[in-house]
Structure 1
Amino acid sequence: MKYLVIFLVLIGMSAIAYAEDIPVEIQTPNNVDLIITGMMEMPVTNEDPIVIIIIENKTGYPILLASTSPDEKGYFSLDVKRQGPLWDGVTEFSVTAQTAKDTSDVNAIKLEYGVYNVGTISWTEASYSGFEDTTGTIQVFDPDINQFSNAVDFLRIKVWSDSSPTKTTLTLTETGVNTNTFEGDVIFSNKYQSSREVVFVSNGDTVTATYADTTLPKDMKSNVYHVNATALIVGKRGPPMERAPASNLQIFDTDKKPILGNEVLVNQQISLVSDLANQQNKSQPFAYLVQILNNQDKVESLSWITGNLTSFQKLNPGITWIPFEKGKFTATVFVWESVNNPTALSPPVQIEFTVKEIHLDHESVENEN
């Protein structure tokens, strides 16, 4: 198989490398987007080849394995979002391109590398009017769901709103053969109750989409990992002129790994991290606040950080916290213009989690004694 490896560190640059007769260009226009393009020599046979892209961190740990199809001239392209727990803290990484005959080769390489991906989910807009029969578009990126090399694939997600918390099912369709990106529209209604692919909304609602990823990397000791994205229903008044939407609120441990199942131990330090994006062509000051409530709705913690987002900048702010008692808790992220100016730049984002005590079994206690 033909391949290339190039290490990337810089942002806002492009690099080009050659694997025999296959040039691959890697562009990093910002700290989130990664664009991989190339040209391969098409085989003489009638088979449609597949290009496999493998991304690893500087220690050789796989971050992503995805596949794409070249066009009739051999040109291929793959757009990657450097988001999710496997990208956290990564400043250097390598990109490897390989050719495969079919999806069996892709699966064999996945077994060889022991790699699966953590999917990401997002709304294409931070806010929607929510007028009758208007739609909102949701995208999921997950190369593991790309099962067929010559056809588009499908996946399902759940969507709900504050006014209608019953989850409705939405089917997303791959945007093309081997794109690894899935997209679908949900219909908003302020007259009819939620049903399949329809969500009842009211002005001021937060609408939430969740994707259950069941194909996870080997070091994630869980069978399923839920990723969420939120958008705001703004009605006739329209969105604020300045907005920095937050999404994908997750809980990480001190090793910057996601805490699966949202189960935390007493005295365990955690970080509450989300994606934050400035969607305007100018800088935006912000305050990122995290409020933690116990199961009696009493405030356990209220912390914040402040900063300034440059035009179209994306980052992952986080607040650390240590629970000292067991119980059920809810963390809510607010993004304001400042601590003293609570003009919302984003709909609130929430996550629920459980704090448990550490239990030592009887045998362990006896050995310690």
Structure 2
Amino acid sequence: MVTSQLLFLVTCTSLFTSVSFAENTPDYYKPYAPIYTDKQVYTWTDKVHITIVSPAWNENIHAIDSIGDDRDHQVKISTASNSLGPYRLTETSPNSGTFVGEVTLTGFSHDVDGDGVSDTTPRTSGNGPTSGLLEAKRDDGITISFEFADGVVLTKSVKISWNVGEIAFSNPRYLPEEQIKIQVNDPDMNLNPENLDQVQITVSTESDSAGISVIAVETQDDSGVFESTISLTQTGESSGNRIRAFPGELITAKYEDRTLPLPYGISDDLDIIATSSIGSDIPDIQRVSIEDLYVADSTGKQISELTKNNQIQIVSHIRNNQDYSQPFTSIVQIVDEQNSIVSLSWIVGKLSDLQNFELSQSWIPTESGKYRIETFVWKSLNDPSPLAPSYAESFSVK
């Protein structure tokens, strides 16, 4: 009886031990080993993260197993023209049955910044799990295959494609003292997923149409997002990351994309543009004041009686209410009793900070009657945004 019980105990122990370990030989008829990638579409220099879930290949529950480096059951990672394999993937932890690895795409020889020199180093090498380098074209694909068992090969394919870049300001409007942040989003320019890459952008304003060239730096090693910060000046010239601009002006940022997807050609380029504006804490219509308006004779002496065929001067005083300069256009029009314009003139200039300025425009009335002088101060003839409320004065000509 004791012998029988001992035999039963040994048998149970043997069974328990055998089911605690995973299969040494995968099930040919139930090939379960799904392959996953971290993206559905990659760019030409991306890092590709690969996961294969295969519990059948978890051979030792107490150790980190690997798959793919066995030539009889290998993992291959291929593009249209290049291939890696056998390529080793390693288990994430003992007994997990999940195997991971990564491969860095190295693109092809191409000039991305227009300086005539290729900016990539295409090459194919490595055997895993993180050492793989694989050349890739613009319109390509990646195929990952795993020979799960003899004659049973599981595959996963994803696309490789370039992208149209994007550029944007962090705000639609900035005050003169604010820092301006510009962001470029172009995964194709993440040329080295292990380091911070850079792109160049051009920034211009209405006061500086030539603009400045600034460097935008990648926010993280593998982000494909690039940022640059610039400042504004109203007193100095554009230099470095500082550009001359005044309130009311547009500011434009341009990024030249040389990695464009179909239907563009590989050698094509495209200017990607974003705009913002420079504002002020003073409303547009209060930036300038029209402080006085009167009529004078040819010597500049103020007069109250006007006679026809005698030249008069229409004198006005305007004041810049800002502590930085302001371009302006002052317009004077004279209308008769029928509201017909009989005279129209303008002066273009720039007010320095808090400056008072006298304007004088001449007119010779040729007919007696009642008239009205109307004055306007605009940003420019092309931009009739008022910098001050309009001003009107009526008078008679004898």
Which interval holds the TM-score relative to the shorter structure?
0.3 to 0.5
Tell me the TM-score normalized by structure 1: 0.38
State the TM-score, normalized to the length of structure 2.
0.35
Structure whose alpha-carbon radius of gyration is higher:
2
